[in-house]
Structure 1
Amino acid sequence: MIRPVTAEDLPLLHAMVQGMAENEEATAQISTDEDELRRALFGPEPLAHAHFAVDDKTGEIVGYTLWCLVYSTWRGTAIHIDDIYIRQDAVGRGFDTALLSALAAVCAERGYRHMQWWGRVTNEPIAAFYRSLGAEIPSVQGKELTVFRLSGTPLADLARQA
């Protein structure tokens, strides 16, 4: 079962975010806390949304997805999936497909044109799974696109030029 995350779920969601970071060996990159998640998900102007994957047999939460809306002048409104995470002990049981399916249903219901997420093309099993769903790597005239990020000191330096 897939269900929306509630405000009462924030400690568990934050713990799962930490679990994902541990899995990615990236805990040092986490700077958000429960309060920031609360503002982002449940503040006066929510910036993000989250869903849990729940094991129907045990009722246990085994994964989550956190997403927001993006707009493309070429493709219109879309869902950007920031996180999709399934606990290691639940991998291979269809929870990832269920989460992606639930978000695809949100796209269909609301008329969003696509959904997107980052993934490592070097992780062949997960890349093959995404391709099996029909996911593509965007390109413009045959050239693959990548994401650029500006943060930290370079972001602050650029801001001072404004």
Structure 2
Amino acid sequence: MIRPVTADDLGLLHSLVHGMAENEEATGQISTDRDELGRALFGPDPVAWAHFAVDDKTGEVVGYTLWALVYSTWRGTAIHIDDIYIRPDLVGTGIDTALLSHLAALSAERGYRHMQWWGRVTNEPVAAYYRSLGAEIPSVQGGELTVFRLSGAPLADLARQA
């Protein structure tokens, strides 16, 4: 079963976010805390949403997805999936497809034009799975797109130029 995360679930979601970071060997990259996560999801103007994958037999949360809306002047409104995490012992059991298909249904219901997420193309089994769903790696005039990020001191330096 897929269900929305509620404010009462914030502690569990926060621990799963850290579990995902541990799995990715990236715990040092987390700079948000539980309070900020709560404001993002449940504040007066939410900027993100999350869903849990729940085992139908045990009621245990076995995965989650966290997403936000993005807008493109070329493609319209879309879901950007920031996290999709399945407990490592359950990868490949269909939970990832259940989460993605739930978000696809939300996209269709709300008129969003596409879904997007980051992934490592070097992780061939995962990349092959995404391609099997019909996912593409977008390109503009023949070149692959990449994501540029500005944060920390460079972001502050640029802000001072305003």
Output the TM-score relative to the length of structure 1.
0.99
Is 1:144 the counterpart of 2:136? The answer is no
Unpaired runs of 5+ residues, structure 2, are: none
Query: 1:109 maps to which residue?
Result: 109
Cα distance in 2 between the residues matched to 1:140 and 1:37? 34
AA paired with 1:124?
A: E
Is 1:89 the counterpart of 2:89? The answer is yes
Output the TM-score relative to the length of structure 2.
0.99
**Structure 1 stretches (4+) deviating beyond 3 angstroms?**
none
Query: 1:48 maps to which residue?
Result: 48
Secondary structure at the residue paired with 2:148?
A: coil
Query: 2:122 maps to which residue?
Result: 122
Q: How many residues align?
A: 162
Deviation for aligned residue 1:90: 1.3
Alignment of 1:1-162 (within 5 A): 1-162=1-162
Cα distance in 1 between the residues matched to 2:62 and 2:33? 20
Give CA deviations for 1:75-129 in whole Å, capped at 9, x if unaligned: 0000000000001111111010000000000100000000000000000000000
Give CA deviations for 1:128-147 in whole Å, capped at 9, x if unaligned: 00000000000011111010
Cα distance in 1 between the residues matched to 2:92 and 2:80? 23
Deviation for aligned residue 1:33: 1.3
Cα distance in 1 between the residues matched to 2:28 and 2:125? 26
Cα distance in 2 between the residues matched to 1:15 and 1:68? 20
Give CA deviations for 1:35-80 in whole Å, capped at 9, x if unaligned: 1111000000000000001111211101000000000000000000
How many percent identity over aligned positions?
85
Secondary structure at the residue paired with 2:99?
A: helix
Cα distance in 2 between the residues matched to 1:93 and 1:58? 16
Unpaired runs of 5+ residues, structure 1, are: none
AA paired with 1:147?
A: V
Deviation for aligned residue 1:28: 0.6
